[in-house]
Amino acid sequence: MAVIQKEPIATSKSKFTLKNILLGSAIALVIIFSLAPVLWQLLTSFKVNEDISAVPTVYFPTRFTLDHYLNLFIRKPFWRYILNSAFVSIVSTALALAIGAPAAYALARLRPWGEKVILAGILIVTLFPGILLFLGLLEIVQMLKLGNNYLALIIPYTAINLPLTILVMRSFFQQLPKDLEDSAKMDGYNTIQMLVQILLPMTWPALVTTGILTFIFAWNEYIFALTFITRDELKTIPVATAQLGGASIFEIPYGPIAAATVLGTLPLVLLVLFFQRQIVRGLTAGAVKG
């Protein structure tokens, strides 16, 4: 009786090819290169002063301290700076979304007169760096006597972030099916009710994406906050961090500056990690059609 021999099943090629190894090494190098400054600041914030000023440089310390963090709250009202940054960022973000979302819907669906001119103007504004607006804003702040007032930061931050908010939200509104709005109108919804109760919940990823980008800009902005706010109790984190002083005029407090940088960056990291899925959906929406 003849025996039928089965041919051996071809095994898949090994994943450890030269191409995959080179690709993995390149990705690892990019990640290390990108995260190295962050890791350096984090380690510096926990180093003792002797290791910070040591020669040769101590990259990975064996002695750790929390004194730099404690000094931020003992010598300076750092909690106040954090609350100032949070208040200005949250209010400007909320205003940008509250104004930008209806404007984006109007441009996407209502087709106002001069729509193309308005869109062209918004695109042109996004091309200008914020620093070019500095002198004009300074004149306005002085004329309205808004110096040392939260409004001196909230109003410019809102205005600068409005074009991005409108452009992102408009693209989302254009992707929504028109039949949904027609059905809502037949059910008795007016435009505002339909926008607030039906459309905005469906554009949640876009709201999160634009909101976080607006929040990050307001949280990290330095030039306007440095110029328009001079009272210490109203300063934001970037300005307060840059103005940290040492025991003498010749000492640079690397440890407290690193600690302040970590504390100022941590809320943004947590915010992005918490909303990472919505951010990805918001940034990739419309990239693939069909």
State the sign of the Cα–Cα–Cα–Cα dihedral 183, 284, 262, 91.
negative
pLDDT (tens digit, 0 to 9) for every residue of the chain, 290 residues total? 455 555 554 444 556 788 888 888 999 999 989 888 889 999 999 999 888 888 888 888 888 999 999 988 888 889 999 999 999 999 999 999 999 999 998 888 887 787 888 888 888 888 877 778 888 888 888 888 888 999 999 999 999 999 989 988 888 888 888 888 888 888 888 888 888 888 888 888 888 888 998 999 999 999 999 999 999 899 999 999 988 876 566 677 888 999 999 999 999 989 888 888 777 776 666 444 44
Rounded-to-integer distance, Cα 161 and Cα 95, Å: 10
> 61: exposed, middle or buried (C-beta count within 10 Å: 0-12, 13-18, 19+)?
middle
Q: Of how many residues is the chain composed? A: 290
Report the pLDDT value the prediction gives residue 285, as an integer from 0 to 100. 60
> 281: exposed, middle or buried (C-beta count within 10 Å: 0-12, 13-18, 19+)?
middle
pLDDT tens digits, residue range 144-171? 888 899 999 999 999 999 998 998 888 8
Contact 46, 32 (CB under 8 A): no
Instruction: Locate the domains of the chain by residue range.
Output: 84-253
Q: What is the pTM of this model?
A: 0.83
Q: Does domain 84-253 have CATH number 1.10.3720.10?
A: yes
Rounded-to-integer distance, Cα 148 and Cα 127, Å: 29
Instruction: For 149, list phi and psi in degrees, rounded to 5.
Output: -140, 140
Report the pLDDT value the prediction gives residue 288, as an integer from 0 to 100. 46
CA dihedral 187, 192, 105, 288 (to 10 degrees): -50
